[in-house]
Chains A and B, each alone.
Chain A
Amino acid sequence: MNDLEQQLISYYYGDAGDAAAVERLLASDPSARQLLEELSALLDQVKPSEPPERGEDYPRRVWQKVQWRLEPQLRFRWWEFLTLRQVVPAVLLAAFIIGAFLVGRYAGGPESSPAAGISERARRQILLVAVADHLERSQLVLVELLNTPLQESVGMSTARPQVGDLLTDTRLYRTSAADSGNVLIADVLEELERVLIELRHGPEQMSPRDIERLRRSLDEQGTLFKIRVLNSQIRQQQQSSVRSVETQAF
């Protein structure tokens, strides 16, 4: 790109240091005028796609999420937050996957298996939905622990059964992901599993030092970040699949 082109681009945007000099040049040089016309025609047409719309309540939702991560003392403890509404769908999905897997393996061959009616792709989608929900629940647990005020200890006796449930689910999903060749998901779940094992078998009362150690370990390995990125990618993929189905339908 030559100086003239750069000058004219700046002029187009009103950023030229010496606009009068550019105008003198344009008045005396037809090729400069032609180039400016070309650039203007091009830039006038550059109208990139707009970012996707966010709903009216987007600012409020952002605040809720930020507040949740910033002010642990103002919100429910996470083991209270994991209500039946969150747990039941994941358990049902897990039961469905195990059931489909067992039936497929032991019930007299693929022809007689109810699971044979489900395509491989559908099965993978179900797994992904379940994994995404599971990652979100696990993320809640880890974020909550990391946000514990520095001087506070955390009693784990109430929370431990929930950690046990998360651990069981993590193992299930990790195995399913590995079996279906989803290396990325299996890797992240394996990392999550190690963290949950530590919590499950750790002290009854987590001291600030224990929490700090956990925080450092999660930071060093970027576990939370990996969980968030993977979850985001799965959600994105789910949305693409829905769009694709909608496109085919219409």
Chain B
Amino acid sequence: MAVEESDADLVERARGGVSDAFRVLVERHSRSVFRLAYRMTLNEFDADDVVQETFLRAYRSLGRFDGRSEFGTWIYRIAVNCSLDLQRAKGKRAEIGTSDEEGDGLTATLAAHDPTPDRVALSGQVRQIVDETLAELSPMERTAFLLRHVEGMAVPQISAVLGRNNGATKHSIFRAVRKLREALRPVAGTLR
């Protein structure tokens, strides 16, 4: 059985100009980067753009990857920056203002992330409230919380991804939980 080549070895070979090594890294990590980008942007098309941009930036910065962290953590860190850049750019575009007749939604923002009736029926009231509340969190709060709660990442790893200290990461998680608790208060009795 063939042994899977480690990320570190692939990075080393990619630095040496072997594009096939970088291909393996892209193919190995693109799904998880997409999940992270989607958590941050809540938009699958933006997330796809972030995935591409992340690997482009990674390739151009391979020389600066010092190997102290895992490649996965490093690529996540780049994805977080790309997501924030994209959201800043979209924010600027939205400020310019557009014609948005008949709900065409070209300027749709996270705040307008209304769940469809199908989704509500399918997922129930709690999930609807959870999704809406998560959409209203800052990208940092949402990402910190989801990486801990859904992906099960440890706080130090999340901090490395977000480029913050452990205290700041924990506070983002606390704030997210507090807001979820407030939002779910009306249905709290049904949760037990």
Residues of A with Cβ closer than 8 Å to B?
A: 1, 5-6, 9-10, 13, 15, 37-39, 41-49, 51-52, 54, 58-60, 62-63, 65-67, 69-71, 74, 121, 124, 180-185, 187, 222, 225-226, 228-229, 232-237, 239-240, 243, 247
Contacts and interface: CB of A to CB of B under 8 A. Distances in A.
A184 B62 CA distance: 36
18 contacts: A13-B173, A38-B188, A42-B177, A48-B150, A49-B119, A51-B35, A52-B44, A58-B30, A59-B31, A60-B27, A63-B27, A182-B106, A184-B93, A184-B98, A184-B107, A234-B106, A236-B108, A240-B105
Given A10-B170, A42-B188, A62 B130 contact: no
Pairs A-B, 6 closest by C-beta atoms: A59-B27, A51-B38, A184-B98, A181-B99, A232-B45, A62-B30
A124 B43 contact: no
A38 B34 CA distance: 33
Nearest to B190: A45
A67 B93 contact: no
A9 B173 contact: yes
Interface size class of B (residues with CB under 8 A): 35 or more
A59 B178 CA distance: 37
Interface of B: 19, 23, 26-28, 30-31, 34-35, 38-39, 43-49, 51-52, 55-56, 59, 86, 89-90, 93, 96-99, 101-102, 104-108, 116-119, 123, 126-127, 130-131, 134, 146, 148-150, 154-155, 170, 173-175, 177-178, 180-181, 184, 188, 191-192
Nearest to A47: B127
Given A51-B38, A54-B31, A237 B105 contact: yes
A9 B175 CA distance: 11
Given A42-B180, A58-B30, A66-B55, A236 B104 contact: no
Contacts of A180: 99
B191 A183 contact: no
B45 A236 contact: yes
Contact of A183 (B98, B119, B127, B146): B98
Given A42-B188, A182-B99, A233 B108 contact: yes
B170 A229 contact: no
A66 B119 contact: no
Contacts of A46: 130, 149, 180
Contacts of B126: 45
A47 B134 CA distance: 11
Given A51-B39, A51-B44, A237-B106, A228 B19 contact: no
A193 to B, nearest CB: 18
A9 B130 contact: no
Nearest to B99: A181
Contact of A58 (B34, B59, B98, B131): B34
A69 B127 contact: no
Contacts of A60: 27
Nearest to A46: B130
B174 A6 contact: yes
B52 A62 contact: yes
A66 B52 contact: yes
